[in-house]
Amino acid sequence: VVVGSYILVSLNPPSSGTYAFDTEEHEWHMVDKEHLPFVGSATPHRNSGCIFLALSRENGPVRTYRICVSASSSPSSVSTEARLSHKGGALNLSITVFSVRSKEHEEVDAMSGHYLTSLDSKRFSTLTFELDNRKRSRTFDDTIGDFRPRKLFAKLMTYQIENPEILNEEKLRAVMPEVSISSQSEQIFKISSDIGFSSPTITFALSI
């Protein structure tokens, strides 16, 4: 995730932890001994610079994150859920996690091949895909000596944020809101390829 002039990354063992690269000073800083609380990359929401959407490490639902990096060594406010703060160093990392649920308290579950993007202050979309591995839908690839699936199913879901005003900076400092959403649209696509697919990397671009 990119926060201001800092690039935050989490590393797997044996170098576990979260590091920040200062793009102005060209220096690395260790800001926490734990991983970031989400998987993959966090998607910026609007132009706030501190609000992001990402898939939680806890069972993978979509959640909203307020992520701040500062040069102050003073203790920062950190949510009890996130508990991510580097104290006594050159940089301070503060992450607050907010649930994203529908009026029926349902979360946006993550699936294999789940991509996420923010459309505007009131909408975001998810893209999931699944390869058709049935024998009748596979083709033999001479280059690898194995079969590849020829069909890819993709589902694009767009969600409406019912309370976008709650994501402004002042309210985030005062309360711990729950982002309320509703399903706005669902589109399902079937993509075919004669040469087949192999764990495809999808570029997710939407025009609004």
Q: What pLDDT digit, counting tens, does each position of 2-13 carry?
A: 999 999 999 877
Find the mean pLDDT for residues 185-199: 82
The reported pLDDT for the residue numbered 206 is 57
Instruction: Tell me which amino acid residue 2 is.
Output: V
Tell me the per-residue pLDDT of 55-109, one tens digit each, with 9 for 90 and over.
Answer: 888 767 888 899 999 876 544 433 333 333 334 357 889 998 888 888 787 888 7
CA-to-CA separations, 24 to 7, 9, 88, 122, in angstroms, rounded? 11, 17, 21, 32
Find the mean pLDDT for residues 145-158: 85
**Using an 8 Å Cβ cutoff, are 110 and 76 in contact?**
no
Residue recorded with tokens 């579950």: 109
Of 145, 155, 101, the residue nearest 125 (C-alpha): 155
Rounded CA gap, 64 and 176, in Å? Answer: 11
The reported pLDDT for the residue numbered 84 is 37
CA atoms within 13 A on the CB side of 199: 1
Tell me the per-residue pLDDT of 85-100, one tens digit each, with 9 for 90 and over.
Answer: 334 357 889 998 888 8
The reported pLDDT for the residue numbered 9 is 94
Find the mean pLDDT for residues 15-27: 89
Residue 202 has pLDDT above 50, yes or no: yes
CA-to-CA separations, 57 to 36, 188, 208, in angstroms, rounded? 9, 26, 29
Residue 17 has pLDDT above 70, yes or no: yes
187 or 197, which is more confident: 187
Q: Long-range contacts: 39-44, Cβ < 8 Å, 24+?
A: 41/1, 42/1, 42/67, 43/116, 43/117, 43/118, 43/124, 44/2, 44/118
